[in-house]
Structure formats: structure tokens, C-alpha cells
């Protein structure tokens, strides 16, 4: 029996149908990455599966229990980490975990022991007595995940757990997720970072307009948009169009150009032949290439191929950049 099962889930807010036949099956002890543009229904799906919302149609089971009729049983077997940290900034990390333990009906001694154990597991021993307001973003996120594991649930929902974190903090969260899964926990992860899903998830589910549009392993989804990608970075942006014409000779799909990076990219079947001939053809056309390389498709390219969605996000310097939603 899968740890998470959804069949034909529907949810409507007024005239807008957010989920329209959502279906999902996640095996025990695995990570499933739930991807989709903003408004696709990811958070709504998580709220239904974690019993915070009732669906308008369809059925779902988590840890073998129906989310409509066995809500208490589901809640005893899940952990939920939302988009915003749910810890108290005035209390210390240890006090937060003790409080969550008492809310889960643990005795005082058991709650304290569990708090101490989790602080050690998540590398917060030295800061456990400090107020959470003194914690970095990564430390708060680790504490938030620790709080969701008070009862060591077999199923964990992570709703965009690393949004706003710096790269080092994101890597810390990734390491914790891997450790949990190695211990048998099943994780449903929603994320706006495609590299995060690529790193953690063995199963990817792409959600668009309330429906699953594609599902499979990262490798399987990448293979759907062709084999390898041939990238050429030209020295002069004025040569982009001519370079695209050269690359078009070696692919059945049209080249993609990025004017900002002076890059042309195209899917190729025979990587060695394409790489060798393109280099010669560019030289024959008088086009100077700063870089030529062959690589596997990225999950970002798969996502764009399946949904066509991009949007703006702020990077660590505060500048706007175009990314997959």
C-alpha cells in the first residue's frame, strides 16, 4: 500500500477549480517532488492530504487512513512543515520543542527528552538554549522540521521548505531530508527550486491547472524532451541568429536562444558527431564561439517544456531574475 494515495481529488474556491482530478501515489520511504507554477494547486493538495482542508470530490489516504473519515489517525502519523516557520521566536529552541511535545500529549519528562534528542539530531545542541529570534534562517528551518518530527511520523509534508534560504542553509535542509528518508520516512516535497527536486526526489509529479500533467523519475522526465543538449556561447551577440541556424542542422527541434548569455541551445541525438561538426561549421561561418559543450537536459527545461511557465524571483543580491515557478 502506498504511503500517500490520491484519486480524483477536486477542490473549488468559488468559481475557480484549484484541483480538478488530482491523482498521486507515493511509495513508502521515498521522496516525491510536487512541482508546478504558482496557483497550480500544490499547497491545496498538501492541505487536503494533511487534513487541513476537505476535498470537494475524490478520495485520499495517508499512511493507510482516509483523510476524510480518519482525520485523527492521519494526524498522528504525519508531520507538516509549511512555507512559514511555526516556531515561537521568544522561546528558545529547546523550549519550542518541549512545547510541541506537550501539545502532542507527551508527558513532561518525555517531551524534554525528545526535545534534547531532536536538537542533537539537527545540529542545534549549542544553540538550543538561545531565543529563536537569534537564529539564522537555516537554523529556524531546521528547528521547524524538528518540531514536525516530535512523534517520529512515517509521512512528512514539506511545503517549500527552503524558500528564502541561502545556499548553505538549503544544503543543510537537503542533508536532513536525506537522513529522514534513509530512516524510512516518506516525504512529499513542494518546491519552487527545480534543482532541489532533482537532488532529493526519486519521483516527480508536475501539477498544472489542478491536474497532473507528467510523472516519473527526474531521468525519465528529462528523456521526454530529447537526449543531450548542445550549448554554444558566441563571442558577439550579433552572431546569435547565424549560430542558431548552424545548430538547427543537427536537431529536429528548433534551437533556443538566450540573448543575455549569448547562448544557443538545441537537443541532439549523436552528441559526439554534433559537437565535432558544429565546431567546424561555426568556424566556417566566421562565428567565434567562447564555449561549446554537451550536457543532459535540466529539470528546469523539462518544466518549461511541460508547462511553459516562468516568473520572476529575487536572487541573493536583491536583483530580479527569471526562473521557473
Q: 226-296 domain in CATH 1.10.40.30?
A: no
Domain locations along the chain: 4-222, 226-296
- Looking at residue 21, its pLDDT comes to 92
The 10s digit of each residue's pLDDT in 212-270 is: 888 888 877 777 666 678 889 999 999 999 999 998 888 877 888 888 999 998 888 77
Q: 4-222 domain in CATH 3.40.1360.10?
A: no
Pairwise CA distance, residues 211 & 206, whole Å? 8
Which of 161, 170, 180, 210 lies closest to 33, judged by CA? 161
Pairwise CA distance, residues 145 & 85, whole Å? 9
- Looking at residue 225, its pLDDT comes to 62
Which of 247, 230, 234, 250 lies closest to 286, judged by CA? 234
- Looking at residue 169, its pLDDT comes to 77
* Residue keyed to cell 511535545: 101
- Looking at residue 241, its pLDDT comes to 92
In the β-sheet with 65-66, what is the strand arrangement from edge to edge?
16-26, 4-13, 57-62, 65-66
Average pLDDT, the chain: 85
- Looking at residue 254, its pLDDT comes to 85
What are the residue ranges in the chain where pLDDT is below 50? 310-325
- Looking at residue 266, its pLDDT comes to 85
Crossing angle of helices 167-182 and 137-148, in 10° steps, is 20
- Looking at residue 227, its pLDDT comes to 66
Amino acid at each position: 500500500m502506498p504511503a500517500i494515495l490520491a484519486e480524483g481529488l477536486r477542490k473549488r474556491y468559488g468559481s475557480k477549480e484549484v484541483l480538478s482530478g488530482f491523482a498521486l501515489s507515493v511509495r513508502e520511504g521515498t521522496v516525491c517532488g510536487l512541482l508546478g507554477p504558482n496557483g497550480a494547486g500544490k499547497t491545496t493538495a498538501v492541505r487536503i492530504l494533511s487534513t487541513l482542508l476537505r476535498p470537494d470530490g475524490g478520495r485520499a489516504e495517508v499512511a493507510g487512513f482516509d483523510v476524510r473519515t480518519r482525520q485523527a489517525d492521519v494526524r498522528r502519523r504525519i508531520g507538516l512543515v509549511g512555507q512559514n516557520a511555526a516556531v515561537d521566536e521568544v522561546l528558545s529552541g529547546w523550549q519550542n520543542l518541549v512545547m510541541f511535545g506537550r501539545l502532542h500529549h507527551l508527558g513532561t519528562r518525555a517531551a524534554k527528552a525528545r526535545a534534547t534528542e531532536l536538537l542533537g539530531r539537527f545540529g542545534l545542541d549549542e544553540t538550543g538554549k538561545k531565543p529563536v529570534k537569534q537564529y539564522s534562517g537555516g537554523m529556524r528551518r531546521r528547528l521547524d522540521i524538528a518540531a514536525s518530527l516530535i512523534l517520529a511520523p512515517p509521512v512528512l509534508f514539506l511545503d517549500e521548505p527552503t524558500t528564502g534560504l541561502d545556499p548553505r542553509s538549503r544544503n543543510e535542509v537537503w542533508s536532513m531530508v536525506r537522513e529522514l528518508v534513509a530512516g524510512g520516512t516518506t516525504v512529499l516535497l513542494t518546491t519552487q527550486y527545480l534543482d532541489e527536486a532533482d537532488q532529493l526526489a526519486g519521483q516527480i509529479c508536475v501539477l498544472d491547472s489542478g491536474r497532473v500533467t507528467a510523472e516519473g523519475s527526474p531521468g525519465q522526465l528529462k528523456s521526454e524532451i530529447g537526449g543531450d543538449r548542445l550549448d554554444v556561447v558566441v563571442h558577439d551577440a550579433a552572431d546569435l541568429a547565424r549560430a542558431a541556424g548552424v545548430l538547427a542542422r543537427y536537431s529536429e527541434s528548433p534551437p533556443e536562444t538566450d540573448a543575455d548569455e549569448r547562448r544557443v541551445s538545441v537537443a541532439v541525438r549523436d552528441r559526439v558527431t554534433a559537437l565535432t561538426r558544429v565546431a567546424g561549421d561555426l568556424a566556417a561561418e566566421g562565428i567565434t564561439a567562447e564555449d561549446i559543450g554537451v550536457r543532459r537536459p535540466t529539470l528546469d527545461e523539462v518544466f518549461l517544456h511541460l508547462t511553459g511557465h516562468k516568473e520572476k524571483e529575487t536572487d541573493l543580491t536583491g536583483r530580479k531574475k527569471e526562473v521557473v515557478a
